[in-house]
Every structure is written in structure tokens, then in C-alpha cells.
Structure 1
Amino acid sequence: MVRRFVFSLAAAALGASSVAPAQVLPAAATDRAVTAVAQTMNEPLVTTPLSNDPLAPAVVSNSEEPAAPAVEQEEPIAISRGASLSETVAKLRRSDAGSRELECLAAGVYFESKSEPLAGQLAVGQVIANRAESRGRFPSSYCGVLTQRGQFSFVRGGRWPAVNKNSLQWKNAVAVARIVEADLHSSNVGKALFFHARRVSPGWRLTRVASVGNHVFYR
């Protein structure tokens, strides 16, 4: 709600140190007081009508209000039907994830699978998203999933190492995070919630879902 307040310009011209009771001045006296204030300040007088009514009062200011800065918005990106994963990643690459949540998802993709094929990176991102949607088994946000104690070895004290956000690998991770968030491409890991590198054998008693790149996925 926009609220307008009318102050006594005559009192301001006198420069009184205390607040005096408001006084109602005749119209002619008010105009003289307003003009005197503008001349004293040696600045142009600008009046702005409150409405289209010529008899409506005017708000007095010493300068025009600056225009509100334009809000820059990202140009919409057209993703064609049937586009390959690599084509979609190429269109969605950027250094800025756009939000803290997407940055967390991109960090998970980056640190766990930046050297993997894009399908492997998508699978890792899908696991993080599946955990966030698991309704109680894991935290309900990407950042919560990523920083949950004992889940991702690259996270220490709720933080992860610095990232060169101008690198192609980071931009690819951001693109994959955006693809997962918008569900632009499906991954063959389905509802998998866990994965490990091929080189280890943790002996999990879980249902194996798929093997993508250098990771094996389970639910």
C-alpha cells in the first residue's frame, strides 16, 4: 500500500527545533510558503498531481524520482523435442546455477561425476533428486541431501572445496542440474537412492538398478 504524508512546508522553512502543532493555511499562503522554500533551497520546484482532477492537491518535491532499474531476466531457451542429452547440456551451460538449491545439486554432480559421461552425471543428479523427494528417508532439499552427515565424502563440515565456475566441467554440472530439476531427460537409474564406484564392493543388501559409467546404482 502506498501511503502519502503531507508535511507543513512553512514549518520546515522556519527550521524550528521542536515539532509544532499542525496548522491549516489558506491556499494563497500555502503557495507563497512553498515558493519561498524552493527559492531558499535554490532548486527547481516540481509538482506532481495526485490524480487527473485539475483541482486535486499536488505533492511537492525538489527533484524527480529516479526510474526503477529494469530487472534482467534470462532469455527463454527452446529445447526441441527429441534433443539429445549432449545437445540439451550445450544449451543450458552456464557458470551461475541461479539458486542455492541448484548450486547444491550441481556441486553433487560435479564432485561425484565430473569426469563421467553426461549420462553418468545425469544419473548422479537423479539420485540426489530422488533422495530429496523420498518423503522422510532423507532431507527434503538438494542442499540438505548433500550436507547430510556421512553421505558424500567431499563434504566436510557442511562445505565442499572451491570450484572454478568458469570451467567447462562446472558449466556442464550446472546444465545437468537444470535438466534434472526440470525433468528434461530421463535417466535409466529410476528411483535409485544409492550408488558407489565400480572399483569398490561395499556388500550392500540393496536392489541393484543399473550401472552407468563408473558407478553402480541401487534402491
Structure 2
Amino acid sequence: MSAKLETLSQNLQQHFGDKLKSLKLALGELTIEVSAADYLAVMTDLRDQATLGFEELIDLCGVDYSAFGDGAWAGARYAVVTHLLSVTNNWRLRVRVFADDNEFPSVDTVTGVWSSANWFEREAFDLYGIAFVGHDDLRRILTDYGFIGHPFRKDFPISGHVEMRYDPDQARVIYQPVTIEPRENTPRIVREDTYGDAAHG
């Protein structure tokens, strides 16, 4: 671990103590995990404490762990992962928080801490169904307003539930059940019997 990351790690441990569920170094970057109950307070302190100084939220995304490790994952299914940057201290941090309820996943919004979280949280809500409590404008951002479900969830069907098409008779766009039949495409490779055999040139 570099001296800079060692300093950041010590600052995090000193400031948050037991609020850190884990602190790991991987690929030259620190990742901390906090509980949903502590999430907003920790994120606010990460911005406001001079020894941490994370002025920028550069990414926020949802994660569905239901099929992680070939389905051997035990624990909460949905997480929010945030990437923070401190320009002043020249270091980065990844923060992960799991939603407590798999049936209705939710965590606090951090739009009041970093306004850049707005569209990221809307995207995580749209694609994973993770609700951000306190968000001022939590609505779909990528899918259609009438879209059913959340397409990045591991149990969402590849073909979806409904399809949209223009109906010339009704002169409008309509929704209907999916007409695409599920299939598996396997590319056909044609090679000579002696392919790769050095003795046959």
C-alpha cells in the first residue's frame, strides 16, 4: 500500500471507527462498506472533514448480487456503489452500501451532499429498482414511462415483458405482450478436419 493510501486508510479508521463494516484495498484503490443506517452521515463526513476532503462524486451505480459467485452469494441482494474523488488530497475512494430490504431496496439519497448524484440515483432506480429516500425527483431516466420492471436485475427476462410498436390502424404507439421467442444462437464454425495440424500444412 502506498503512503498516500495508508494515510487515507488511517484517516478513515480514526474518523469512522466501528461505522466501517469493512475496509479493503484492491487494484490500488480503497473500498469501504457502511450500513444503510450510517450511509448519509458517513457520506457527509467524507465531504466535510478536511482529513478526507472528497469534494466530488464521480460515479454512483446499483449492483444486483443475486447471481454473484454462481449463485453462492449470501446476504443482501442490492447495493449502491459510489466513487468519490478528493482533488485537494489527490485520492479516490469507493463506498459500498447494501439495502436492508431485498423486496423494496432503498438507501438515503446523497443529492444533498453532491448534486451530481441526481441522475446517477435516477439511473440506479430505473435499472435496479433501488429507491433513494429523500430524492426530489426520483423517476425513470432511461426506460419508457410505461416500462414494467427493472431491466438490470438478474431475474429480468432478456426479451422483457412487453414490446412497443406503432400501430398504423390506431395511428399510435401501442404496448403488447412480447412476440419474440427465446432462442440461443450458437455460431457455426466450419473448418477442415486437418485444421491446425502442422503435418498437413
TM-score (norm 1): 0.21
Computing the radius of gyration from Cα coordinates, the structure with the larger value is: 1
Give the structure, 1 or 2, with the largest relative contact order (CA under 8 Å, sep 6 or more): 1
Q: Per residue, is there more strand in 1 or in 2?
A: 2
